[in-house]
Amino acid sequence: MTHPSTQPDALAIAASIRAGEVTAREVVEESIARIEERNPELNAVVGRRYDAALADVDAGLPAGPLSGVPFLVKDLGTEVAGVPSTSGSRLFADHVPAADSEIVRRYKAAGLVVLGTTNSPEFGLNASTEPLLHGPARNPHDHSRSTGGSSGGSAAAVAAGMVPAAHATDGGGSIRIPAAACGLVGLKPSRGRTTGHPDTGTLAGPVSVPHAVTTSVRDSAALLDVIAGPLPGEAFSAPAPLTTFLDAASREPGRLRVGVATEVNGFDVDPACRDAVLAAAKLCEALGHHVEETTAGFDPAEVAASSSVLMGADLVVIIEDRLAELGRENLGPGDVEPFTEMLYGYFSTLTGTQVHRALRAAQDIGWRLGAHLRRYDVLLTPTLTAPTPPLGLLDTSRPEVMWQHGSTYSAWTSVLNVTGMPAISLPLGQAPDGMPVGVQFAADLGREELLISLAAQIEAASPWC
């Protein structure tokens, strides 16, 4: 298998198309061939629209910096017309949307060519992509290991070189976790940076945000430019960037104050994950930044208590609305996975007061972390407390196992969803067994430009090839 770092990134592919070195159709056909060759082993792609994609190319693509680049969309909460939108669940196995979600319309308007959809755990409730509906996605670096989740199918597809970049979403680390597991760049934007329309996600909206997994920082920036901006009437809106995010990728960040945290309450951090952070800290120091040790600035137990209620309430609405659509009152045997069924039963008893308290707690966590970040421009942490798990460790058919292991893989990531702050995982480390290890940089709300500038500077100084 060709490592993605040996292949051109999305911007380079688009430049080759503009220069006439290759046609968009040739690029798309080659990407389709790679998916068909590599997907049987990896199970990253679950929905296809090859004929429609080629028809899009033949009809003429919109001009843009990414025109002609093949792309995949995560099968969770984002719909591609004519392709099953299952959210990894048997309850939605036959749901085929008639229209694209707004973010997909924006991708297509930028000239990206959507080839299909990628594997996701049921309703995104797992830090590993192992849905019973589609089966597990496998890590290209080691097929016995997880891809992470919930954007694991997208990460596997990019890491395997099927496409140069793919759509992803992040409600508790679901962009950054698979990016770390698969050796990619994974930026979670600020709350309100873009829209989830038509998925209202009233309660998950404060914590979940879409973007992408990529091989390069500049691709992440360019894709964020494509989707950034709320629709009129949006409940949340992030501050507009000064210029473009792609411009930020070529701009020096200046001398930054970097706070480094490697310990968090209640979790042991694997030495490989800690070492990756410390090495990244030394690199930042060598680049001229002021670096100092600090504390995490949050308690994962408090974060979990808030985020679980917000996302749990949304899960109940999703299931109840689907049952109403099907003309049913109750879930049937096998409709959802055992872990989902347990969560649905538990969160169905939530009161409005409990949900309101969770929202208040989320704001309080944000204020406290924000006060902590006043001393620093960025906070440097592990992305994960442990390297990539084996497939089967996070088993949704055994809810007790999920309770035991699940939070291990979101201890450092979920807080940035609850607070709405942006964060990026960069593939700067390696475990003793050769698996990639990510480190996370976080900043205050609306400061994606700063993270992109710093990440691009780090990538130039220490390329992850």
pLDDT tens-digit map of 104-131: 999 999 999 999 999 999 999 999 999 9
The one catalytic residue in 67, 74, 108, 154 is 74
Q: Which amino acid appears at position 290 of this protein? A: H
pLDDT tens-digit map of 324-363: 999 999 999 999 999 999 999 999 999 999 999 999 999 9
C-alpha R_g of the chain: 20
* 415 close to 303: Cβ distance less than 8 angstroms: yes
What sign results for the dihedral spanned by CA atoms 240, 242, 243, 247? negative
**Token pair for 363:** 């704001």
Task: Give, for all 465 residues of the chain, the pLDDT tens digit.
Answer: 345 557 899 999 999 999 999 999 999 999 999 999 999 999 999 999 999 999 999 999 999 999 999 999 999 999 999 999 999 999 999 999 999 999 999 999 999 999 999 999 999 999 999 999 999 999 999 999 999 999 999 999 999 999 999 999 999 999 999 999 999 999 999 999 999 899 876 545 678 999 999 999 999 999 999 999 989 988 888 999 999 999 999 999 999 999 999 999 999 999 999 999 999 999 999 999 999 999 999 999 999 999 999 999 999 999 999 999 999 999 999 999 999 999 999 999 999 999 999 999 999 999 999 998 899 999 999 999 999 999 999 999 999 989 888 889 999 999 999 999 999 999 999 999 999 999 999 999 999 999 999 999 999 999 996
In the DSSP assignment, the letter for residue 65 is: T
Q: Are strands 290-293 and 257-260 parallel, antiparallel or unpaired?
A: parallel
Tell me the pTM: 0.97
* 408 close to 386: Cβ distance less than 8 angstroms: yes
Tokens 């998950």 correspond to what residue?
Answer: 204
The one catalytic residue in 174, 306, 308, 410 is 174
The one catalytic residue in 150, 306, 407, 425 is 150
Distance CA 83, CA 95 (A): 9
Which of 211, 172, 188, 180 has its CA nearest to residue 384? 180
H helices present in 150-286, as ranges: 152-159, 176-182, 217-227, 245-248, 271-286
The pLDDT of residue 343 is 96
The pLDDT of residue 1 is 36
Q: Are strands 209-214 and 165-170 parallel, antiparallel or unpaired?
A: antiparallel
Instruction: Determine whether 410 is an active site residue.
Output: no
The pLDDT of residue 2 is 40
Distance CA 50, CA 61 (A): 15
- List Cβ neighbours of 437 (8 Å cut-off, separation of 6 or more): 180, 272, 273, 276, 383, 384, 387, 427, 428, 429, 430, 431
Instruction: Determine whether 74 is an active site residue.
Output: yes
The pLDDT of residue 4 is 53
Which of 315, 309, 307 has its CA nearest to residue 336? 315
The pLDDT of residue 7 is 85
Strands of 316-445, DSSP E: 378-382, 423-430, 436-442
In the DSSP assignment, the letter for residue 91 is: G
For 54, 125, 313, 316, the CA distances from 321, given in Å and listed in that order, are 35, 18, 12, 8
Instruction: Determine whether 108 is an active site residue.
Output: no
